[in-house]
A and B are shown apart, each in its own frame.
Chain A
Amino acid sequence: MFGVATISPSAPAGPLASVPALLAFSAEPLAHLRPLDIAVIAIYFAMVIWIGFYLKGQSDTGEQFFMAGREMTAWIAGLSFVSANLGSLELLGWAGSAYQYGILATNWYWIGAIPAMVFLGLVMMPFYYVSKTHSVPGYLDLRYGGEARTVAAIAFATEMILMSGVNMFAMAIVMKVVLGWDINFSIIVSSVAVALYVGLGGLRSAIFNEVLQFVLIWGGALLVPILGLYQAGGWTGMQSKIISNLHSDSYFHLWRDTGSFASNPMGVHWTGIVFGLGFAISFGYWTTDFLVVQRVLAAHNLRAARMAPIIGSFFKMATPFIVILPGLLGLVLLQNSDGSRRQLVGADVVAACTASSTGQPLDPAGCSAAMAKTNLSPETQQKVLSGAPDSELHDYNQALPLMMVRYLGPGLLGLGITALIAGFMSGMAGNVSAFSTVWTYDIYRPLIHKNATDKHYVLVGRLSIVIGVVVSIGAAYLVQQFHGIMDYVQALFSIFIAPLLAAIMFGMFWKRATRMAGFLGLFTGILFSAGLFVWVKLNPAKLAIVALSPDAKPMAENVFRALWAFCFSAIVIIVVSLLTKPRPVAELDGLVYGATKLPTEEWVPFYKREWFWATAVGIIFVVLNVMVW
């Protein structure tokens, strides 16, 4: 019995136990794979490596290796775009968050993604695409110059490698909890597979596998909500059971309880959700994070590049069905062997109640104190303290695996586990392929070796994937020594992404933004954001200032920190731009709105136009939000 370190992107950073201590404990895994399950997983690995070898011959030039030859269709680019994001932190973390917070967690899929994805397709994509940049730092280079590019490239490359390590570690620890697999085995096998298929086939191989992984994730995970809803008596049955069990209907409202920080379990306010999450974080991630933008840049023409994020947005809107719904269903369906409701708890409580070989907690007093802060019944607490059979605690992040084990027999369980592995690997492949491009084109070429041949840069790209994976493995082991890995991931992500958004937005939509302003806005914005993070880390009471309320919880800090960092960078860019000399408008062709003549696209019927599908996305988005208001 031990807890997975908090991996949910939404989970507040609570008091986490030492990860090494958790890992040292040998526990009974949640599931046992049969030969059929092993065969399903082995076939998946064989397929992804085969694809890598098959595509090796189509990845000889820089354009082919780093940009997949820019010949992906809108569907392939769009599915790859969402799949690269559907990594380890998504499937398990958000199912756990839904168990904790209810449907409020869906905001991270809807307002926290859809408007930004549509905006990328309709408004921003033409500038990225027409400029023919290889990367987002590359766009900054064209727009502002080398200083902004270097800051963005170094920050991004560092973030990618560390994120990849976190992905790897998250996968390994889940495999240990669910299947009892050795941590080292999981890390080595998954990283070698990713290094092989991305190193051989470049971005094309990463994209192919991401599309494959997307299909597998849905094929493996879709059964859980279908069977869960059937058993719970449909949506209304689930709703009435949750209200009856938890005496609250707030689990089913997306916006109703966000009028104050204290009235919802996440401790967030709607202003933070709309402006911090819906704008600063979401637009920062979906429109400027090269991990996802790279997939769209590989599209075969401008129309496909504009359609890809819009196609992706339909699937993103549907993802809560396989992620959020299993978490909600877990609230009513997960049972102990005696038929009583199984309640999941935080990883810190699971760690505090780590059992000895007799089944009783190693530290009964600590366990008792930790359980006192939960809503576990006195009977359950007594069972845990006495080490009764089937009394082990499970943490929120185990909601999805527990639901899988409940419904999936041999073969199907293998498919479900393959879906999890595919999610982990698509995230990791996205990290290393984006790292390779940024390292080669935005760091190595301008700063280390300027005028080498195309062949040389492809070789550097292949080597950087291998080196990137090795560094990621090091980062994965580092995470084992680090308390609270999500703190670390979220810090990296939110520190960097909001200032980058400000630099890109002003660069793309304001002709007056100058070279010095772009660099200073980005650089000082990163310092400001990092400063806010450190300030609250050193003195948690300052959260009330950052998030504007004494009732705010750490999730509110993330969204408000991103918002303040964007505002800070925006002010720096505006002030410095007004004090420095702008570039002539003629130099901004292809880079800035109002200075660019966009190419005319061939006529297509209305149902093939991006505006038509963007409108459809908008209508569905509004209807869904109103339905669960």
Chain B
Amino acid sequence: MHGSRIPIWFFIGLLLAVYGGMILGYGLYESTTGNFAPGVQLTELHTPVWWGALLLVLGLVYLFKYRPGKTK
């Protein structure tokens, strides 16, 4: 996709950033309060924190790199 159109990678970046922020936020809440969801295994790995952070960083990179109006 070219020109002034929004590239697909921007949409992907937006979604990943939003999801990453939500999951990271919940992971931090869970880790600080110790209020883990019952039945879920390996909570000691704090998966939502690092997976959420990864999604957030990836999303922000894509958002910045493919922001609308940026020429190729």
Stretch at the interface among A3-11, A108-116, A301-309, A408-416: A408-416
Q: Which of A35-43, A259-267, A340-348, A583-591 contacts B (4 or more CB under 8 A)?
A: A35-43
Confirm or deny: A541 has a beta carbon within 8 angstroms of a beta carbon on chain B: no
Question: A406 to B22, alpha carbons, bound, how many Å?
Answer: 20
Judging by beta carbons under 8 Å apart, are B11 and A47 in contact?
yes
CA distance in complex: A107, B54 (Å): 32
Inter-chain CA distance A216–B48, complex, in Å, is 16
B12–A44 touching, CB < 8 Å: no
- Once bound together, how far apart are the Cα atoms of A208 and B9, in whole Å? 9
Interface centre among B2, B15, B16, B39, by most A CB within 10 Å?
B15
Complex CA–CA separation, A211 to B11 (angstroms): 10
A410 to B31 alpha-carbon distance, docked (Å): 13
Is B22 a contact of A230 with CB atoms below 8 Å? no
A370 proximal to B (CB < 8 A): no
User: Across the interface, do B6 and A223 meet the contact criterion of CB distance under 8 Å?
Assistant: no
Q: Which residues of B contact A39 (CB under 8 A)?
A: 22
Also in contact, A36 and B40, with CB within 8 A (given A212-B8, A219-B16, A412-B51)? no
Contact of A51 with B by CB under 8 A: yes
In the complex the two chains form, is A51's CB within 8 Å of B55's CB?
no
Cα distance, A34 to B47, chains bound together (Å): 17
Give residues of chain A (363-422) contacting chain B, Cβ–Cβ below 8 Å: 405-412, 415
Known: A215-B12, A227-B47, A230-B42. A409 touches B30 (CB 8 A): yes
Please indicate the chain A residues that have their CB under 8 angstroms from the CB of B8 in the complex.
76, 208, 211-212
* CB <8 Å contact, B15 and A409: no
- Interface membership of A54, Cβ < 8 A: yes
Cβ B42 vs Cβ A231 within 8 A: yes
Q: B38: nearest residue on chain A (CB-CB)? A: A409
Knowing A36-B26, A51-B11, A58-B5 are in contact, say whether A412-B48 is a contact too (CB < 8 A). Answer: yes
Tell me the bound Cα distance from A562 to B7 in angstroms. Answer: 41
Knowing A40-B22, A411-B48, say if A231 contacts B15 (CB, 8 Å).
no
Q: Are B47 and A44 in contact (CB under 8 A)?
A: no
Chain B residues, Cβ within 8 Å of A405: 39
The answer to whether B6 touches A36 (Cβ under 8 A) is no
* A212 and B52 contacting across the interface, CB-CB below 8 Å: no
With a cutoff of 8 Å between Cβ atoms, the chain A residues found around residue B1 in the complex are 71-73, 76
CB atoms of B15 and A71 under 8 A apart? no
User: Which residues between 7 and 61 of chain B lie within 8 Å of chain A, taking CB atoms?
Assistant: 8, 11-12, 14-16, 18-19, 22-23, 26-27, 30, 36-37, 39-43, 45, 47-48, 51-52, 55
CB neighbors of B among A215-274 (8 A):
215-216, 219, 223, 227, 230-231
User: Is the CB–CB distance between B45 and A54 below 8 Å?
Assistant: no
Q: Mark A38-81, 1 if CB is under 8 A from B, else 0.
A: 01100110010001001000100000000000011100100000
Q: Which residues of B contact A47 (CB under 8 A)?
A: 11, 14-15
Task: With A39-B22, A227-B45 as known contacts, state yes or no: A212 contacts B37, CB within 8 Å.
Answer: no
Chain B residue numbers with a CB within 8 Å of A406 are: 39-41
Residues from chain A with Cβ under 8 Å of B48 in the complex: 409, 411-412
Selected contact of A208 from candidates B11, B43, B47, CB within 8 Å: B11
By secondary structure, the B interface counts as: helix
**Residue in B12, B30, B36, B40 whose CB lies within 8 Å of A407:** B40
Residues of A within 8 A of B12 (CB): 211-212, 215
CA distance A208 to B16 in the complex (A): 15
Tell whether, in the assembled complex, residue B42 and residue A411 are in contact, meaning their CB atoms are under 8 Å apart: no
- The reply to whether B26 and A212 contact each other, CB–CB distance below 8 Å, is no
Asked whether A407 lies within 8 Å of B23 as measured between CB atoms, the reply is no
- Of chain B, the residue at the smallest CB distance from A79 is B8
Given the interface pairs A406-B41, A407-B47, A409-B48, the reply to whether A36 lies near B22 with Cβ below 8 Å is yes
Chain A residues with Cβ below 8 Å from B36 are 409
**Is A409 touching B19 in the complex (CB atoms < 8 A)?**
no
Say whether B52 contacts A411, CB under 8 Å.
Answer: yes
The interface residues of chain A lying within 8 Å CB-to-CB of B51 are: 223, 412
Please give me the residue from chain B that is nearest to A415 by CB atom: B19
Query: Closest CB of chain B to A42's CB: distance in Å?
Result: 11
Chain A residues, Cβ within 8 Å of B11:
47, 51, 208, 212
* Complex Cα spacing A40 to B48, Å: 14
CB nearest to B26 among chain A residues: A411
A410, B45: Cβ atoms under 8 Å?
no
A462 to chain B, nearest CB (A): 21
Taking a contact as CB atoms closer than 8 A, the residue among B5, B16, B23, B26 that contacts A215 in the complex is: B16
B41 touches A231 (CB 8 A): yes
A372 to B8, CA, bound (A): 53
Cα of A208 to Cα of B14 in the assembled complex, Å? 14
Bound-state Cα–Cα, A415 to B41, Å: 17
Interface residues of A (CB under 8 A from B): 34, 36, 39-40, 43-44, 47, 51, 54, 58, 71-73, 76, 208, 211-212, 215-216, 219, 223, 227, 230-231, 405-412, 415
User: What are 27 A-B contacts defined by CB distance under 8 Å?
Assistant: A39-B22, A40-B19, A43-B15, A44-B15, A71-B2, A72-B1, A208-B11, A211-B8, A215-B16, A219-B16, A223-B47, A406-B40, A407-B40, A407-B42, A408-B40, A409-B40, A409-B48, A410-B37, A411-B22, A411-B23, A411-B27, A411-B48, A412-B23, A412-B47, A412-B51, A415-B19, A415-B23
Which 4 residue pairs of A and B lie closest in terms of their CB atoms, listed nearest first? Answer: A409-B37, A411-B23, A409-B40, A411-B26
Interface residues, chain B, with chain A CB atoms under 8 Å away: 1-2, 5-6, 8, 11-12, 14-16, 18-19, 22-23, 26-27, 30, 36-37, 39-43, 45, 47-48, 51-52, 55
User: Known pairs A44-B15, A223-B47. 17 more at Cβ < 8 A?
Assistant: A34-B37, A36-B22, A40-B19, A43-B15, A47-B11, A71-B2, A211-B8, A212-B12, A215-B16, A231-B41, A231-B42, A407-B42, A409-B43, A410-B26, A410-B37, A411-B23, A411-B52
